[in-house]
Copies of this chain bind each other. A is one copy, B any other.
C-alpha cells in the first residue's frame, strides 16, 4: 500500500491521528520537501513519528518514482506531503504511476492553505481561482497571473496568491557546468510578491489593482504560536515585516459580505484608514 499523507500546515502535531497510525505501519517513509515546508526540523518529525525519514526532492519524485513505489505491493510505504496531498501536480503524477502499477493507494487528507485561508476572515466561496507568483529574474518575468487576477476581479472575487519557494535550485552557472551545487532555499516574502505585482501592473497597465487595493498578508498560517495576519492596502503591507516563511497574500475582491468586513477589521494595520478604504471602495 502507498499512503499519501497530508501533514497539515505547521507543526508535527498537525498530522491526523489516522495519518500517524498509517506512518507507524510503514516500512519506508518519504518526506516531500520541495513544494512546501513544515515549520519544524526533520529530526522533530522523526522523533514524533518514531520513523526515519527519507527526503524526497523534485528529482527523486519526478524521475525515480518507481524507486519510491518499489515493493509497495507487499509493503506499506508512506509519502508525506506538507498541507494536503492534492496541493501540487507532482503528487498527482505519483498517484497515476502507482495506479498504473496496480499498487493500492490510500490518501489521508489534511488542511492546506487552500482551505485554511478562511482564517483571514474572507468566505471561501467568494474566492476565484488561486494563482502562483514565481520569483522574477532580470530576464524572466512571467506574468500570466495578472490575467487570472483580472478574471477574478472582474467578477468581484478574492484572489489567493501562493508565493514561490525555491528549494535545492542550482545557479545557472552551476547548472551549465553540471555541478550539483545548490543555492540556499528561498521563500518569497509578501513584500517581494507585492513589488512584483506592482511592477507587472505598471507594465500591463490595465488597472486590475493599484497600490491602494485592499489585501491581506498571511504568515505562518496555522501556527499555534506565531501566525500573523495583516490587512491593509498593498502599499501599507509593503513596509510590514512578516518574519520567517511561509507567506501568502490575498487580494480582496469587490464582492464582500459585511461579516467579511467586520472580521478583516480585527487584522487591520491601521483601523482608521481601513474604515476609510471600506467606505470609499466597498460602499459598506
Residues of B within 8 A of A21 (CB): 13
B132 touches A125 (CB 8 A): yes
Q: Does A222 touch B at the CB level, under 8 Å?
A: yes
Q: Does A95 touch B at the CB level, under 8 Å?
A: yes
Copy number in this complex? 2
Residues of B within 8 A of A116 (CB): 84, 86, 109
CA distance A115 to B109 in the complex (A): 9
**1/0 contact trace for A239-281 toward B, CB 8 Å?**
0000000000000000001010011001000000000000000
**1/0 contact trace for A93-112 toward B, CB 8 Å?**
10110010000001101111
Q: Does A20 touch B at the CB level, under 8 Å?
A: yes
Q: Does A65 touch B at the CB level, under 8 Å?
A: no
Counting chain B CB atoms within 10 Å of each CB, the highest count among A9, A12, A20, A119 belongs to: A119
Which residues of chain A in 77-99 are interfacial with respect to chain B, using CB atoms and an 8 Å cutoff?
Answer: 83-87, 89, 92-93, 95-96, 99
B13 touches A8 (CB 8 A): no
Q: Does A123 touch B at the CB level, under 8 Å?
A: yes
Contact of A109 among B111, B125, B151 (CB under 8 A): B111
B130 touches A107 (CB 8 A): no
A6 touches B106 (CB 8 A): no
A18 touches B11 (CB 8 A): yes
The DSSP consensus for interface residues of chain A is mixed
Residues of B within 8 A of A127 (CB): 129-130
B18 touches A109 (CB 8 A): no
CA distance A6 to B109 in the complex (A): 12
Q: How far is the CB of A132 from chain B (nearest CB, A)?
A: 7
A86 touches B115 (CB 8 A): yes
Residues of B within 8 A of A151 (CB): 155
Q: Does A121 touch B at the CB level, under 8 Å?
A: yes
**1/0 contact trace for A1-26 toward B, CB 8 Å?**
00000101101111111101100000
What 3 pairs across the A-B complex have the smallest Cβ distances? A86-B118, A109-B111, A13-B18
Can you list 5 A-B pairs with a CB-CB distance of less than 8 A? Answer: A84-B116, A99-B266, A110-B110, A114-B115, A125-B131
17 further interface pairs, Cβ-Cβ under 8 Å (given A13-B18, A92-B263, A106-B224): A6-B111, A11-B18, A13-B21, A14-B17, A14-B109, A84-B116, A84-B118, A86-B115, A86-B116, A89-B257, A92-B121, A92-B259, A96-B262, A110-B110, A110-B111, A111-B115, A115-B115
